Structure 1
Amino acid sequence: MPIIKIMPHPEYCPQGIEVSAPSGTSICEALLENGINIEHACDMSAACTTCHVVVREGFASLNDLDETEEDLLDRAWGLEPNSRLSCQAILAQKDLLVEIPKYSINHAKENH
């Protein structure tokens, strides 16, 4: 079972955390199932960018981006070459190091 190491984030996991999840699980599902309440305004339907993450290690082990995800990522805050929508990034066998960006473009979130 791959391990996802989440870098410290002031809101979601201030100390950082490591979670494990079965292959075939999306990063977003793995985080939510382990109590990391990452934003996912579209309920993981690939219609927004609120679950955007940057995969610092293990990027190549994830499934390929499809056209919808590529188009949406163009609108993500803090886009980097190794950015993914966590709802679309499916775990394989390799461990990951993931950073949740400080901001998202969720205009509906309170206190934003």
Structure 2
Amino acid sequence: MAKTVKLDPINQEASVQTQANLLSGLLASELNVLRECGGRGMCATCHVYVKSGMDSLSPPNRREQRTLEVITTTKLNSRLACQALVMGEGVVIELPSGMYINSITDIESLIGRRAEQNILHPLDGKVLVESGKLITRSMISQLQDTQVQIGSYLAQSKEA
């Protein structure tokens, strides 16, 4: 049976099957949510704030807790949408303000422009470029370093 999840502040609702993760509802709502780690709870790109209904979600597992510890924008009501399973009604979530960049081609197309919103690091949620600031080539080297970090982290987790 499907549960309704409300997305604030856009006042949109998403239908999520019972025991399915929040990420599936966000993607079905055609929101631009990344899943850099493939939904394994190892990156920050599906980080959300649960405004209400935390008790209607599955409890955080150890991997999610470890990932949330490194996200700089984490609050007490933070969850990873890929790990939070919807168990009941009344869930209201808010996406952190900003945009995650997950490839060099994304940045290449933005160089020389002003960021329309904060651009966030895919592993820790740090702001790479503040809203209104100029996007420069130095972001490419930061992102290349990030892709190496993600690749080695995912390789280590497969071995474990």
Measured in 1, the distance between the counterparts of 2:49 and 2:23 equals 12
Report the counterpart of residue 7 of structure 2 in structure 1. Answer: 6
Which of 30, 33, 54 lines up with 1:38 in the alignment? 33
Report the Cα distance in structure 1 between the residues aligned to 2:54 and 2:84, rounded to whole angstroms: 9
Superposition deviation, residue 56 in structure 1: 0.5
* Distance apart, 1:67 and its partner CA: 1.1
Q: Which amino acid aligns with 2:51?
A: R
Give the TM-score, by structure 2 length: 0.60
Contact 1:27–1:87, Cα closer than 8 Å, also in 2? yes
* TM-score under structure 1 length normalisation: 0.83
User: Is 1:60 matched up with 2:61?
Assistant: no
Distance in 1 between residues matched to 2:26 and 2:100, nearest whole Å: 19
Name the aligned partner's letter for residue 16 of structure 2: A
Do the aligned residues in 2 keep the contact of 1:52 with 1:104 (CA within 8 Å)?
Answer: no
Looking at structure 1, the residues matched to 36 and 45 of structure 2 have their Cα atoms a distance apart, in angstroms, of 6
User: How far is the alpha carbon of 1:106 from its aligned partner?
Assistant: 4.9
Q: Is the 8 A contact 2:36 2:45 kept in 1?
A: yes
Consecutive unaligned residues in structure 1, runs of 5 or more: 9-14
State which structure, 1 or 2, has the greater radius of gyration over its C-alpha atoms.
Answer: 2
Alignment partners' CA distance in 2, 1:35 and 1:105? 16
Q: Does structure 2 conserve the Cα–Cα contact (< 8 Å) formed by 1:49 and 1:104?
A: no
Q: How many residues align?
A: 106
